[in-house]
Amino acid sequence: MNKILNPSKSDWPEILRRPTQTVADIEQTVNQIFDEIKVKGNAAVAKYTELFDGIKLNDLIVSETEVSNAEKKISEDLKSAIKLAKANIEKFHAAQRTDRVSVETSNGVKCWQEKKPIQKVGLYIPGGTAPLFSSILMLAIPAKLAGCEEIVLCTPPDKDGNVNPAILYAANLCGVTQMFKIGGIQAIGAMTFGTKDVPQVYKIFGPGNQFVTVAKQLATKYQVAIDMPAGPSELLVYADDSANAAYVASDLLSQAEHGIDSQVIMVTTSEKLLNQVSEEIQVQLQDLPRKAIADKAIENSRLILVDSEKEALELINEYGPEHFIICAEKEDYFINGVINAGSVFIGNYTPESAGDYASGTNHTLPTNGYAKQYSGVNLDSFMKTITFQKISEEGIKAIGPSIELLAEAEGLQAHKNAVTLRLKDLN
């Protein structure tokens, strides 16, 4: 990893730059595929599945037989692990339910808000270099808890036209209503416009590579909402001499193995620890099955030495990491001071992997600095809030004259008349 010692603040933008392409680099490809899917539907989806995934499929739909067979291919130990993770994720997300908010703003003027589920949601689950069945738990569980009527899943097939059995098992277990063997840009396009087989959805969720991220962003031009811009994975660790160098190295590598465009960063005030972590990374890297991928990600990554905790915290908030690990004696300083992060992990025994799988928090998080303005997926992500109001005769008499004055001041006479007519009838 690149070691950077005591950088000046003017160098931070370059040091913290993500290894991602711009939207403009990818936008043309996405628009071309979207245009074809709008016109040709299933045929265009099948064309790009063959082009990008190397498999020609006669049927994009995952059959009930395939789902049933998948369950038989999963070991009982893995099933138990999935069920444990499911229980914890359900517990944490169910606790996020809130009661109806109701208030009488003036005598006779009652206002309230209620949350309603988004009827049709689409889940995108990557399945290329790693079948991320854990993302199904993170998305389908809150969708089901929220009461979404249609939960549509798209995931790429392998070279034999199959979907990883763990993906199918988890999807069925968590209440997904329809599953399709579609990946990449074409999956986002299919759920955006709808095809003969794939329903059009109202909101699309899920992580993916840079092409998927841009496709999701462009889908918003067609009245489809998205969870957030969630692209290549990233992790930032702040650690001091109280940290275990081997643990820190393992956490950095756990995200580096996601993909060649992932990025991991350690910030520290200890040059001794920085060197220990650097050595540990090289040792642990040799044993990883995904060493080639992690190696590439490490090229985009940094070990940064700073002078003080204050400077470290300022740098961390400037970066806005997707995942933020704190291994420090003054952990409360960073817990209280962090304002830009997707999810925070505290202490030597809280690996980021826990949040990825089974602690209960959601691992679908904003990347590429979007933690400065986006939250990670939660129960509310699958709902929208509707406001209601009911005004009595007493209420319209109380606020009506003010409404008339406000409407007249804005030059909106019909707005004023809507109140004036009622007040005349009541007087």
Binding site members for substrate: 233, 255, 258, 323, 356, 410, 415
Strand order, beta sheet including 178-181: 178-181, 150-155, 120-124, 203-205, 225-226
Beta bridge partners of 181: 155
Q: Is 235 helix (H, G, I), strand (E, B) or coil?
A: strand
CA angle (158 as vertex; 253, 182 as ends), nearest 5: 100
Annotated binding site for NAD(+): 124, 186, 209
d(CA 367, CA 376): 10
The CA distances from residue 63 to 96, 99, 154, in Å, are: 34, 39, 13
d(CA 264, CA 220): 29
Helix (H) or strand (E) holding 361: none
Cα maximum dimension of the chain? 85
Closest CA to 391 of 352, 417, 426: 426
Spell out the residues 6+ positions from residue 123 whose beta carbon is closer than 8 angstroms to its own.
135, 136, 139, 140, 143, 151, 152, 153, 154, 176, 204, 205, 206
Number of H helices, E strands in the chain: 17, 14
Q: Report the phi/psi class of residue 412: left, alpha or beta, with left for phi > 0 and alpha for psi in -120 to 50.
A: beta
Query: How many C-beta neighbours within 10 Å does residue 71 have?
Result: 13
Spell out the residues 6+ positions from residue 418 whose beta carbon is closer than 8 angstroms to its own.
none
Residues with a known catalytic role = 322-323
Q: What is the DSSP letter of 61?
A: B
Contact 368, 231 (CB under 8 A): yes
- How do strand 263-268 and strand 302-305 relate by DSSP bridges? parallel
Annotated binding site for Zn(2+): 255, 258, 356, 415
Annotated binding site: 124, 186, 209, 233, 255, 258, 323, 356, 410, 415
The residue length of the chain stands at 427
Torsion angle of C-alpha atoms 132, 137, 140, 141, degrees rounded to 10: -170
Q: Is 393 helix (H, G, I), strand (E, B) or coil?
A: helix
